[in-house]
């Protein structure tokens, strides 16, 4: 306890000097940055340009004559930006003499190419009705399903797709039944059968006899 007390007294004695030295160091690192922001092509004052310190929530804007003033620290990065111009970052040197620094910052225009926009007049009622009626609307899933199960598509599928095993077996059994029905005698003639004529007329209307 006797040894700690002298150390505390020495620390309390040196504390004001330490704080003063740190304050002097901080005071020496503060820089009053002022200047003007101008366009690089015409050297005109650029008003409302943003001047901000990178990494800190600190900044200002230039006035109507492009003049600005801001307090920064040595070693800070200062970013100049304005709408329509390329941003520019400037480093404040750590070894500058004094606590003031002036700058004339020239801003280069940033060319942006936008896609062409075609402006047309508002359509009349007749033009709107014509375009609405002639609009090509793609089929949805319900319309595609309806077309797939239509009678025309089913007839085309029946005429083009080969028979499966069940259909082939039924056709074979049907042919044998007809053959056994007229076994030992002349086969019946369907020319006088009204049911056969009705079926023939239906097939003709459907187009079953048209050449594919």
- Domain positions in the chain: 29-107, 141-206
Q: How far apart are CA 144 and CA 100, in angstroms?
A: 78
Task: Tell me what pLDDT residue 52 has.
Answer: 94
Task: Tell me what pLDDT residue 48 has.
Answer: 92
Exposure string of 48-69, with b = 16+ CB inside 10 Å and e = fewer, is ebbbbbeeeeeeeebeeebebe
Q: Which of 110, 118, 38, 30 is nearest to 70 (CA)?
A: 30
Q: How far apart are CA 189 and CA 199, in angstroms?
A: 15
Task: Tell me what pLDDT residue 26 has.
Answer: 46
Half-sphere exposure of 28 (CA within 13 A, CB side): 10
Task: Tell me what pLDDT residue 211 has.
Answer: 60
Task: Tell me what pLDDT residue 209 has.
Answer: 67
Per-residue pLDDT of the chain (212 residues; tens, 9 = 90+): 545 545 554 444 444 554 444 444 445 788 899 999 999 988 999 999 999 999 888 999 999 999 999 999 888 999 999 988 999 999 988 888 888 888 999 999 987 777 888 887 777 888 888 888 888 888 888 888 888 888 888 888 777 878 778 888 888 888 888 777 777 777 666 666 777 777 778 877 777 766 65
Task: Tell me what pLDDT residue 20 has.
Answer: 44
Exposure string of 93-106, with b = 16+ CB inside 10 Å and e = fewer, is eeeeeeeebeeebe
The CATH number, out of the four listed (2.60.40.1120, 3.90.1150.10, 3.30.70.20, 3.40.50.1000), of the domain defined by the range 29-107: 2.60.40.1120
Phi and psi based region of residue 30 (left: phi greater than 0; alpha: psi -120 to 50; beta: remaining): beta
Task: Tell me what pLDDT residue 143 has.
Answer: 85
Q: What is the DSSP secondary structure assignment for residue 83, as one 8-state letter?
A: T
Task: Tell me what pLDDT residue 90 has.
Answer: 93
């Amino acid at each position: 306890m006797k040894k700690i007390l002298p150390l505390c007294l020495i620390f309390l004695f040196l504390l004001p000097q330490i704080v003063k030295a740190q304050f002097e160091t901080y005071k020496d690192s503060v820089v009053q940055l002022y200047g003007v922001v101008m366009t690089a092509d015409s050297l005109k004052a650029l008003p409302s340009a943003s001047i901000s310190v990178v990494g800190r929530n600190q900044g200002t804007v230039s006035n109507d004559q492009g003049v600005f003033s801001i307090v920064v620290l040595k070693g800070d990065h200062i970013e100049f930006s304005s709408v329509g111009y390329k941003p520019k970052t400037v480093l404040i040197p750590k070894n500058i003499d004094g606590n003031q620094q002036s700058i004339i910052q020239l801003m280069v225009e940033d060319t942006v190419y936008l896609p062409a926009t075609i402006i047309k007049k508002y359509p009349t009622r007749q033009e709107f009705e014509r375009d609405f009626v002639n609009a090509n609307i793609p089929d949805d899933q319900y319309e595609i399903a309806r077309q797939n199960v239509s009678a025309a598509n089913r007839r085309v599928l029946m005429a083009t797709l080969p028979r499966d095993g069940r259909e082939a077996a039924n056709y074979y059994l049907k042919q044998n039944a007809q053959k056994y029905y007229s076994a030992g005698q002349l086969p019946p003639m369907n020319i006088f059968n009204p049911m056969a004529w009705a079926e023939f007329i239906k097939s003709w209307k459907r187009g079953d006899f048209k050449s594919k």
